[in-house]
Structure 1
Amino acid sequence: MLDNYVITIMSMMAIWSIVALGLNVMTGWAGQLNLGMGVYMGTGAYMSAMLTTMAGFTFWEAIVPAVLAAGAMGLLTGLPALRVREDSLAVLTIGLVFVFESLLVYLPYFGGPVGINRIPKAMLGGEALGNGAYLFILLLALALAIAVCWYVKRTWMGLALESVREDEHATAVIGIYPVRFKLYAFTIGGALAGLAGVFYAHFMRFITPYDFGFMPSIFVLVMLVFGGLGTIRGAVFGACLLTALPELIRFVQDYRSMVYGIVLVLLMLYEPKGLLGDGSFAWGQIQRGVAKVRSLFSKVIDANGEMHVKNP
């Protein structure tokens, strides 16, 4: 059985993986540099926390309205983002983060700077779920998020998002409306981040406005770039590795931040596409290894088939 420390790390890995998947839809596929993922994650977390602590909702009843609220927030923040691109979009979304954080801090309805505490645990069969059971539910949510992203990537929507990323004007010429698909990306990405926010709130059982400020938003972008921008595997791998890395290098104690920064700098210098990004060295090695294994298995199967034919 896993101890609580390992379960906690794995739970945070799953939560940040879902957020990274949401950012990948916006930035990796649609090409919209969004530095405000904390807004959507915070919307989901605060909506769920208020519904369960003030309105008598259960965890399960609060998930859907919280995710819908985060998706709506993604849509609303996507509207002003339609007027700007690239660096200007990044500055706009940073501004939205500070506006969102200020509203949570200065409006007492949201608990002010102290946030919301005593958020109830998820219940099942009249009993509160333990950390292990909650991790299992989290992994199911991550699997659902991966399935949604895989479906989007494999359909015409994925092709449209990538065409918007590459050239908006050419996309409009062939009859695809960039505005519509940008809003789709913001809505889907916001909903996924909101789902992660719900699980974060009920896992920590205490949230503050500072949990969803500027630094967490930057942290998610680093995860995505580290793993491989534009790929599902990269989003999940980057989120898992960078969540666990501070714990893995705990033995250096006060130098953890420096080691963390050096790792990121070296990655950007020698693997700018991310560790598992398309065209990266590591991903190429993995693909070649998988191809060799497949070739070996096919030879074994063919050899066995020939033996059966020769010796009926």
Structure 2
Amino acid sequence: MIILDIFNSYFINILVVAGIYVILTLGLNLTTGFAGQVSLGHAAFYAIGAYTAAILSVKFGCSIWITLPISALVTWIIGAILGLPSLRVKEDFLAVVTMGLGLIIQSLMLNLKITGGPMGIGNIKPVSILGHNFSMFNFFILELVIIVILTFTMNRMVNSRFGRALIAIREDETVADTLGINTTKYKVLAFAIGAMYAGIAGTLFAHYFTYVSPDSFGFTESSIILSMVVIGGLGSIKGSIIGAVILSIAPELLRGLKDYRILIYGLLMVIMMRYRPQGLFGENSILNISFKKKNKININKGA
């Protein structure tokens, strides 16, 4: 019975971590998969969400019910602010700029007094209701509810005029401009919403582990999240979810190779780019899917 309880706790812990990555990949896929803006600094917003929740919890005694909406709002605002200048560059230059932003945020976490420096922040309040702390299973159920809400919201967004505008920008930004689409506005919105999803994931991370440190949000983390998006399928919500689950569970199944997971992820990405560049569940052209379903993309002029 004890062995069974340990196994259950271990298994639930893996599912909780996988759920956090699902939220992260959903957000990044909106920015990269649907809007076509490659970001190598997604972990920066993950860190901002986690540290916002940690500071509010430790310094002001806030519970997750307060830190979650505040972290989401803070990362949305910061994502919009940082997105505006960074999205004025394109393609490879954008990837370099976002990577730089990620390194700047991590450096701030390492050096600011309020973030605890290299020691991080501990004693974060666990999730509780009426003074009763959530068990691991209860936390997983809460996380699952949040994932369902965020997935439903993402599905509605990408199938709306907003989503079709992002698809047009991804396929050909010049053509989208000629259609009257404010490309800068839509790209910044996609960047901000993707950052907000990362902030929500960071809040869950902080309250689940009750400790945050800069080591958890480096460039390696951004690379892992991007790998999940690419392997699952660019522009595919289902691909984001399955890619995150597979690549977060795989290291646990192959614990002897856990130290080489970045190497393995890199190799998988090379193989995917060679034989299936659209990912496991992505399509060759998202724009073509829209034409097949609706015969045309219904984007009103001046969107």
Q: TM-score, normalised by structure 1?
A: 0.85
The structural deviation recorded for 1:265 is 3.8
1:244 aligned partner: 249
SS class of match (2:89)? coil
- The aligned runs of 1:188-267 (5 Å cut-off) are 188-250=193-255, 262-267=267-272
SS class of match (2:249)? helix
Q: Does 1:47 align with 2:49?
A: no
The structural deviation recorded for 1:81 is 1.4
Q: TM-score, normalised by structure 2?
A: 0.88
**Amino acid aligned to 1:205:** T
* Counterpart-to-counterpart distance in 2, 1:206 and 1:219: 21
Distance 1:73 1:258, change over 3 A: closer
1:185 aligned partner: 190
2:177 aligned partner: 172
The structural deviation recorded for 1:269 is 2.9
The range that moved more, 65-74 or 261-270, is 261-270
The structural deviation recorded for 1:259 is 5.4
The range that moved more, 152-161 or 267-276, is 267-276
The range that moved more, 217-226 or 244-253, is 244-253
**Amino acid aligned to 1:218:** S
The structural deviation recorded for 1:278 is 1.9
Runs of 4+ deviating beyond 4 Å: 251-264
Distance 1:252 1:85, change over 3 A: closer
SS class of match (1:240)? helix
Q: Is the 8 A contact 1:117 1:205 kept in 2?
A: yes
1:163 to 157, 160, 168: 168
* Equivalent residue pairs, number: 280
Q: Does 1:151 align with 2:166?
A: no
Distance 1:20 1:178, change over 3 A: same
Residue identity (%):
37
CA RMSD of aligned residues (A): 1.8
Q: Is the 8 A contact 1:36 1:217 kept in 2?
A: yes
* Counterpart-to-counterpart distance in 2, 1:160 and 1:254: 41
**Amino acid aligned to 1:121:** P
Residues 45-95 of structure 1: CA deviation (Å, up to 9, x unaligned)? 111111011012111111111110011111011011132001000000011
2:99 to 94, 100, 109: 94
The structural deviation recorded for 1:39 is 1.2
Residues 272-300 of structure 1: CA deviation (Å, up to 9, x unaligned)? 221122259xxxxxxxxxxxxxxxxxxxx
1:305 aligned partner: none
Distance 1:255 1:162, change over 3 A: closer
Distance 1:131 1:157, change over 3 A: same
